[in-house]
C-alpha cells in the first residue's frame, strides 16, 4: 500500500510540474501566435525583405559553421585515436570539454584578444604580410567563434566513436598490411559515417540558434540572425509586430531543426566484441607521428590561445579597483542569486519529472494516462529547444507589459527562463542515475516498508548526491553565463555579470571587461569541473 501511495504521489507531482512547464512555455507562444501587438500578423510582416535577409544569413552562417567544425574535427579525432599514448594526452582530451563550460561572452572576448584589430595574431599577420588586419566582426568572427566552440565537441564525439571500434578490426587491418588510406576507407570511415550526420545536425542547431556570439561579434545589420533580430526589435527599435513575426519564424525554424536532429541523433554504443584493451598498429612511422603531432599542436593553439588570452588580459586589468566597485558587487550577487535559485529549481523540477516518468512506466501494463504522462514528460524537456530563451522571453515581455513595469517581473522571468534552458541537461544527468538506482533498490525499499523522508535519507541520498551535485553545478554554470534572458529584461536595477561585461565591452572599457571575463570564466569553469569530477558530463552543450 505504501509503495502504491508513493507511486501515485510521484506521478501527481510530475503531472503538476509538467503543467507548470507547459503553461510557462505555452502562454507566451500563444501570445505570439494569436495576439500579435500592433495589428494582425499578415504575410507581408512575415516575409518582408529584412526578415528574408536575416533568415538567409542565419542559414548561411549555420551551414558554414557546421561544415568547418566537422571538417577540422575529423583530422583531430583521427590523430588522437591513432596516438593513444603520449604525455599530456588526458589534458588534451579535457581541453576538448573546456569550451562547453565557458560562457559564450568570455570566449568572444578571448577571440577578440587573439584575432581583433590589436590582437597578437592580427599584429603578426600585418607585420609579416603588410596586409590590412583581419576583421573579427561580421561573418568571419561568427564562424571563428562557432568553430572554437563546436569543433572540440565534434572531435570528442568522433574520438569516442573511433575508440569504441573492436580490437579485432585493428589486428585484422595490420595482418592485411593496410596503409593509411585503406585503414581510413575500410575501418575508420564506416564508424565515422554513422556519427557525422548526428554530430552535424547537433552543431547546426547550436549555430542556428546562437545569440550571444552573434550579438557580440556580428558587427551590424548585415550579420544578424533571427534571435538577435528579435532582441533588436524589442529592445532597440521597439517594433513588437516584427518581433512577433521573427519569433513565429524562429519557432518554425527550430521545430524543423529538432525533427532533423531526431532523425540523425548521435547514438552512444559502448558495446565491443571483447573486453581487450584496444591497440592500434597504424600511425607508428615517423611521418605519421609528425603529421599527427602537427595536427594536435594546431588544435591546442587554436583552442587554448583564447583561454590564455582571457587569463592574461584579466590579470593585467585593475582587479583591485574592480573588487571594490559597488556595481561589480551588485552584479556578482545578482548573478549568484539568480544562478543559485535557477539551479535549485531546475534540479527539483527535473527530479520530479524523472521520478514521475519512471514510476509511470514501472508497471508491466501501464494505462493510457500513465503512458500519456510519460510521453508528456519526455517531450517537455525539449520545449526549450523548440522555443529558445530569446523567443520565450519575447513572449513574456509582451505578456507582462500591459500588466505593469517589466522590470518588476524581470528577476522571476530570468530565473524561470534559465530553469527551462538547463532542464534538458539536468534531466540527461539525473535520468540514468535514477533508473540505475531504482533497479537496484526498489524491491529492497518496498520490502522494508521504507518511504518518504526515511527512504530518501537512508537509501536515495547516499547514492544520488553526486548526480544531484553534477546537475546543480551544470544548471548554475549555464545560468551564470546566460545573456539571452538578461538582454531582454536587464535594467539598471537588475544587472548580472554577463550583462555588465557586455556593457563594458560596448563602451570600450576593455580592461574592465577583461577582468570581469576572468571572474565569470573562473566561476563557470570551476562549477563545470566540480560537476564532472566524479561523473560524466552531458555532451550536448548550450552556448550562445
For residue 102, the model assigns a pLDDT of: 82
Average pLDDT for 31-59: 70
Res. 68: pLDDT tops 90: yes
Written in H, E and C, the secondary structure of 440-501 is HHHHHHHHHCCCHHHHHHHHHHHHHHHHHHHHHHHHHHHHHCCCHHHHHHCECCECCHHHHH
Average pLDDT for 330-336: 92
* Of residues 173, 183, 143, 161, the one with CA closest to residue 57: 143
d(CA 212, CA 543): 8
pLDDT in tens, 478-535: 888 888 888 888 777 788 999 989 888 877 788 888 899 899 888 888 887 776 665 5
The band of 275, judged by pLDDT with boundaries at 50, 70 and 90, is very low
For residue 126, the model assigns a pLDDT of: 78
Which of 26-35, 42-51, 134-143, 372-381 is predicted least confidently?
42-51
For residue 174, the model assigns a pLDDT of: 75
d(CA 259, CA 18): 22
d(CA 474, CA 332): 18
CA atoms within 13 Å, Cβ hemisphere of 187: 27
User: Could you tell me the pTM of the whole model?
Assistant: 0.83
pLDDT in tens, 395-420: 888 888 888 777 788 889 999 999 98
Query: Which architecture characterizes domain 317-354+389-544 according to CATH?
Result: Orthogonal Bundle (1.10)
Higher pLDDT, 173 or 40: 173
Instruction: Find which of 115-124, 161-170, 228-237 is predicted with most confidence, using mean pLDDT.
Output: 228-237
Query: Which architecture characterizes domain 45-273+290-313 according to CATH?
Result: Orthogonal Bundle (1.10)
Domain with CATH 1.10.3720.10 in the chain: 45-273+290-313, 317-354+389-544
Q: What do you get for the CA distance between the two ends of the chain, in Å? A: 49
- Residue 90 is inside which H or E element, if any? helix 89-97
What percent of the chain is predicted at pLDDT more than 70? 85
Average pLDDT for 461-470: 81
Res. 349: pLDDT tops 60: yes
For residue 448, the model assigns a pLDDT of: 67
Written in H, E and C, the secondary structure of 343-412 is HHHHHHHHHHHHHHHHHHCCCCCCCHHHHHHHHHHHHHCCHHHHCCHHHHHHHHHHHHCCCCCHHHHHHH
d(CA 214, CA 223): 8
Res. 9: pLDDT tops 90: no
Instruction: Find which of 330-334, 385-389, 403-407 is predicted with most confidence, using mean pLDDT.
Output: 330-334
d(CA 125, CA 117): 11
pLDDT in tens, 437-462: 777 776 766 666 666 666 667 777 77
Give the Cα-Cα-Cα angle 71, 481, 401 (nearest 5 degrees): 115
Q: Determine the longest span between alpha carbons in the chain, in angstroms.
A: 81
CA atoms within 13 Å, Cβ hemisphere of 140: 9
Whole-Å CA distances, 12 to 4, 353, 468, 492? 12, 10, 22, 41
Res. 542: pLDDT tops 70: no
For residue 385, the model assigns a pLDDT of: 72
d(CA 345, CA 341): 6
Which of 54-68, 324-338, 436-450, 455-469 is predicted least confidently?
436-450
- Other Cβ atoms closer than 10 A to 455: 18
Average pLDDT, the chain: 81
Amino acid at each position: 500500500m505504501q509503495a502504491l501511495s508513493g507511486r501515485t504521489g510521484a506521478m501527481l507531482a510530475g503531472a503538476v510540474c509538467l503543467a507548470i512547464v507547459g503553461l510557462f512555455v505555452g502562454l507566451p507562444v500563444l501570445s505570439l501566435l494569436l495576439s500579435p501587438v500592433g495589428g494582425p500578423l499578415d504575410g507581408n510582416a512575415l516575409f518582408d525583405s529584412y526578415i528574408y535577409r536575416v533568415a538567409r544569413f542565419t542559414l548561411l552562417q549555420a551551414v558554414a559553421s557546421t561544415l568547418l567544425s566537422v571538417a577540422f574535427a575529423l583530422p583531430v579525432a583521427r590523430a588522437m585515436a591513432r596516438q593513444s599514448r603520449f604525455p599530456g594526452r588526458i589534458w588534451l582530451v579535457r581541453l576538448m570539454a573546456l569550451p562547453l563550460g565557458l560562457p559564450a561572452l568570455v570566449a568572444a572576448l578571448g577571440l577578440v584578444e587573439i584575432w581583433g584589430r590589436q590582437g597578437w595574431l592580427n599584429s603578426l599577420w600585418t607585420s609579416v604580410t603588410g596586409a590590412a588586419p583581419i576583421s573579427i566582426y561580421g561573418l568571419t568572427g561568427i564562424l571563428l567563434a562557432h568553430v572554437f566552440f563546436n569543433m572540440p565537441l565534434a572531435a570528442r564525439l568522433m574520438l569516442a566513436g573511433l575508440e569504441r571500434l573492436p580490437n579485432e578490426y585493428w589486428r585484422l587491418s595490420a595482418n592485411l598490411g593496410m596503409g593509411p588510406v585503406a585503414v581510413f576507407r575500410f575501418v575508420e570511415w564506416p564508424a565515422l559515417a554513422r556519427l557525422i550526420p548526428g554530430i552535424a545536425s547537433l552543431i547546426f542547431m547550436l549555430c542556428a540558434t546562437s545569440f550571444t556570439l552573434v550579438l557580440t561579434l556580428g558587427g551590424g545589420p548585415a550579420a544578424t540572425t533571427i534571435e538577435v533580430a528579435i532582441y533588436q526589435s524589442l529592445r532597440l527599435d521597439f517594433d513588437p509586430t516584427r518581433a512577433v513575426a521573427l519569433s513565429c519564424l524562429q519557432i518554425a525554424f527550430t521545430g524543423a531543426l529538432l525533427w532533423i536532429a531526431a532523425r540523425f541523433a548521435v547514438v552512444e554504443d559502448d558495446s565491443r566484441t571483447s573486453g581487450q584493451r584496444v591497440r592500434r598498429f597504424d600511425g607508428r612511422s615517423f611521418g605519421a607521428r609528425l603529421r599527427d603531432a602537427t595536427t594536435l599542436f594546431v588544435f591546442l593553439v587554436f583552442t587554448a590561445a583564447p583561454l590564455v588570452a582571457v587569463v592574461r588580459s584579466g590579470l593585467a586589468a585593475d582587479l583591485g579597483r574592480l573588487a571594490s566597485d559597488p556595481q561589480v558587487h551588485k552584479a556578482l550577487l545578482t548573478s549568484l542569486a539568480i544562478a543559485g535559485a535557477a539551479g535549485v529549481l531546475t534540479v527539483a523540477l527535473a527530479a520530479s519529472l524523472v521520478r514521475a516518468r519512471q514510476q509511470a512506466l514501472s508497471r508491466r501494463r501501464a494505462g493510457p494516462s500513465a503512458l500519456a504522462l510519460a510521453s508528456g514528460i519526455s517531450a517537455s524537456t525539449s520545449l526549450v529547444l523548440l522555443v529558445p530563451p530569446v523567443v520565450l522571453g519575447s513572449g513574456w515581455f509582451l505578456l507582462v507589459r500591459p500588466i505593469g513595469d517589466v522590470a518588476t517581473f524581470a528577476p522571476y522571468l530570468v530565473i524561470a527562463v534559465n530553469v527551462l534552458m538547463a532542464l534538458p541537461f539536468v534531466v540527461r544527468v539525473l535520468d540514468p542515475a535514477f533508473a540505475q538506482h531504482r533497479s537496484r533498490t526498489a524491491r529492497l525499499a518496498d520490502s522494508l516498508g521504507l518511504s518518504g523522508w526515511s527512504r530518501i535519507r537512508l537509501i536515495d541520498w547516499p547514492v544520488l548526491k553526486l548526480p544531484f551535485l553534477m546537475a546543480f553545478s551544470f544548471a548554475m554554470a549555464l545560468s551564470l553565463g546566460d545573456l539571452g534572458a538578461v538582454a531582454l529584461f536587464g535594467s539598471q536595477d537588475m544587472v548580472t555579470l554577463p550583462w555588465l561585461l557586455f556593457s563594458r565591452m560596448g563602451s570600450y572599457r576593455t580592461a574592465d571587461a577583461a577582468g570581469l571575463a576572468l571572474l565569470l570564466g573562473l566561476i563557470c569553469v570551476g562549477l563545470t569541473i566540480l560537476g564532472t569530477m566524479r561523473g560524466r558530463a552531458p555532451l550536448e552543450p548550450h552556448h550562445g
